[in-house]
């Protein structure tokens, strides 16, 4: 019988040890690098990935270059979303055949998912980092850390419905609970908040025990568990009870986490970590019980990810970088965090389970 990660959390965090393999998993099906496709272009910058499972399109927020659309079947770029310069992310609303980018200047570019045709660019603020779609109310939520607020927008009309001030300068990933709420990570306050999308109010604030700098975030609707990727000196994946806010489990991951994803069919959590160049795969054995399945070496700075659950694939992106001491170096994550990336080195990595 497997030992609960909750009881072993201090050991896992301090020593990097893992619980024994799951019964019946004597031969682990490891993820292997299936392809690495380089996309030509100027010195890259990037952020979030979003996968359209219906069409096999991977939307890549390439910031100054806009949203790149990469088809995973042909392994080719099929489009760049017009008028999406500055994009960090693309949000999908399949019921409306719409996509919405999150642009750093505080705007969103609305486009058709089927045709990839741009409809319009809508301004909602002065800056933006990320966002999500809340299906019960039909609203988009955009996080704006520099402005210390989130903005709500009606996805059908493009009208801003509300703004909610928050005392955080580092408002990170968010996820809806399919009950009308959105969970949001506040990295500089080491907490997760619950926002009611109907009333546009914060209805809960939870400190994440044993977690500093919560960044990546995903949600398990069935068991009502929040998965939080925490950076800090001892990076962990923390699991919160979405009703009480209690931290029920922690397991070590890697430095520079920016992506967390959950596959509800296999009860598997994925965390991509850029500085340690690894993909940590965690089994959910029960709502409060978690165990390390495997860790796969990736490539440096591959910190964001998207899942293709139908084909059991994980997509990551990265580029070759360097540290130029003549320029400002961000030492918050690592002493030598790249501040320069080279032209024509941006690569899409596909990891396939074998």
Query: What's the pLDDT score for residue 109?
Result: 98
CB neighbour burial string for 93-116, b if at least 16 within 10 angstroms, e if fewer: beeeebbbbbbbebbbbbbebeeb
Q: Can you list the domains of the chain with their CATH numbers?
A: 45-123 (2.40.10.480)
d(CA 345, CA 133): 32
Specify whether the CB–CB gap between 181 and 193 falls below 8 A: no
- What does pTM read for this prediction? 0.92
What are the CA-CA distances from residue 177 to residues 11, 215, 290, 341 (Å)? 31, 18, 21, 37
Which contiguous run of DSSP H or E holds residue 153? strand 149-154
Of the candidates 279, 278, 230, the residue with the CA atom closest to the CA atom of residue 270 = 279
d(CA 284, CA 281): 10
Per-residue pLDDT of the chain (354 residues; tens, 9 = 90+): 333 444 334 434 333 334 444 444 446 899 999 999 999 999 999 999 999 999 999 999 999 999 999 999 999 999 999 999 999 999 999 999 999 999 999 999 999 999 999 999 999 999 999 999 999 999 999 999 999 999 999 999 999 999 999 999 999 999 999 999 999 999 999 999 999 999 999 999 999 999 999 999 999 999 999 999 999 999 999 999 999 999 999 999 999 999 999 999 999 999 999 999 999 999 999 999 999 999 999 999 999 999 999 999 999 999 999 999 999 999 988 999 999 999 999 999 999 998
Query: What's the pLDDT score for residue 24?
Result: 40
Query: What's the pLDDT score for residue 27?
Result: 66
- 16 exposed, middle or buried (CB, 10 Å; 0-12, 13-18, 19+)? exposed
Query: What's the pLDDT score for residue 10?
Result: 41
Query: What's the pLDDT score for residue 333?
Result: 85
Of the candidates 313, 295, 309, the residue with the CA atom closest to the CA atom of residue 349 = 313
Query: What's the pLDDT score for residue 28?
Result: 81
> Per 3-state DSSP, what percentage of the chain is helix, strand, and coil (rounded to 5)?
5, 50, 45
DSSP state of 2: P
Side-by-side strand order, sheet with 346-353 = 31-39, 346-353, 313-318, 305-308
């Amino acid at each position: 019988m497997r030992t609960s990660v909750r009881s072993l959390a201090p050991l896992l965090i301090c020593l990097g040890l893992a619980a024994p393999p799951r019964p019946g998993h004597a031969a682990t099906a490891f993820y292997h690098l299936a392809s690495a496709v380089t996309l030509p272009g100027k010195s890259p910058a990037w952020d979030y990935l979003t996968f359209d499972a219906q069409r096999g399109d991977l939307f890549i927020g390439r910031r100054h270059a806009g949203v790149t659309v990469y088809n995973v079947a042909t392994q080719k770029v099929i489009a760049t979303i017009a008028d999406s310069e500055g994009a960090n992310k693309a949000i999908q609303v399949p019921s409306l055949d719409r996509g919405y980018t999150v642009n750093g200047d505080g705007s969103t570019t609305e486009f058709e998912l089927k045709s990839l045709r741009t409809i319009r660019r809508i301004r909602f603020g002065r800056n933006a980092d990320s966002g999500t779609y809340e299906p019960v109310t039909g609203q988009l939520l955009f996080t704006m850390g520099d402005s210390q607020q989130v903005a709500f927008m009606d996805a059908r009309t493009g009208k801003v419905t509300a703004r909610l001030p928050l005392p955080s300068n580092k408002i990170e990933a968010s996820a809806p609970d399919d009950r009308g709420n959105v969970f949001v990570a506040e990295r500089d306050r080491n907490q997760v908040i619950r926002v009611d999308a109907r009333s546009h109010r914060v209805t809960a604030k939870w400190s994440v025990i044993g977690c500093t700098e919560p960044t990546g975030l995903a949600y398990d609707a069935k068991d009502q568990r929040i998965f939080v990727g925490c950076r800090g000196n001892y990076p962990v994946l923390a699991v919160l009870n979405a009703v009480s806010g209690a931290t029920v489990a922690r397991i070590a991951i890697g430095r520079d986490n920016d992506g967390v994803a959950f596959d509800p069919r296999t009860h598997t959590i994925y965390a991509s970590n850029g500085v340690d160049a690894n993909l940590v795969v965690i089994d959910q054995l029960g709502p409060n019980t978690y165990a390390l399945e495997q860790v796969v070496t990736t490539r440096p700075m591959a910190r964001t990810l998207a899942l293709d659950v139908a084909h059991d694939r994980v997509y990551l992106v990265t580029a070759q970088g360097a540290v130029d001491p003549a320029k400002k170096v961000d030492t918050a994550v690592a002493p030598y965090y790249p501040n320069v990336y080279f032209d024509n080195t941006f690569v899409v990595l596909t990891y396939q389970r074998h």
